């Protein structure tokens, strides 16, 4: 997408310069395109850099989950959160992992490797009909 916008902008500027119809309005539009692309790219790069810093801050990218009577507590080096059982809208069960949906476009993956069977049975009992 970025390459396409940059290509269209470059072609626009080249055509204006080549045709000799360089006006004040054309110069302002070209400058605005360059500023828009530059600011958008800078914002994306800063967002990506911050996300990568947070990922590197995770200790071996591990988090722990604790199934409790009131809900699920997730803890990682970046912090912790507690989700009540009612907040887990749907859980898709696969052989090696669960996909847990907490909202329309919000989910996390729960790997089952090394999970105690008793803890998974407890979670299944609490989730009831939300397992699929």
Read off the pLDDT of residues 74-131 as tens digits, 9 standing for 90 and up: 888 778 889 898 888 898 999 899 998 988 888 888 888 888 889 888 988 988 888 8
Phi-psi category of 101—alpha, beta or left, where left has phi over 0 and alpha has psi -120 to 50? beta
What DSSP designation does 60 have? T
Read off the pLDDT of residues 26-64 as tens digits, 9 standing for 90 and up: 777 778 878 888 888 899 999 999 999 887 776 666 778
Residues 6+ apart with CB under 8 A from 95: 112
Q: How far apart are CA 131 and CA 17, in angstroms?
A: 63
What DSSP designation does 131 have? B
pLDDT the model gives residue 43 = 92
Using alpha carbons, list the distances in angstroms from residue 49 to 2, 39, 45, 69: 18, 15, 6, 38
What pTM does this model have? 0.52
Q: Report whether 34 contacts 16 (CB < 8 A).
A: no
């Amino acid at each position: 997408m970025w390459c396409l916008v940059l290509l269209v902008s470059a072609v626009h500027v080249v055509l204006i310069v080549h045709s000799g119809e360089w006006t004040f309005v054309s110069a302002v539009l070209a400058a605005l395109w360059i500023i828009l692309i530059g600011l958008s790219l800078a914002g994306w790069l800063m967002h990506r850099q911050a996300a990568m810093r947070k990922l590197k801050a995770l200790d071996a990218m591990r988090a722990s989950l604790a199934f409790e009577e009131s809900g699920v507590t997730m803890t990682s080096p970046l912090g912790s959160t507690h989700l009540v059982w009612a907040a887990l809208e749907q859980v898709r069960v696969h052989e090696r992992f669960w996909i847990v949906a907490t909202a329309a476009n919000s989910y996390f993956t729960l790997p089952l490797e090394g999970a105690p069977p008793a803890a998974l049975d407890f979670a299944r009992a609490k989730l009831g009909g939300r397992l699929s």
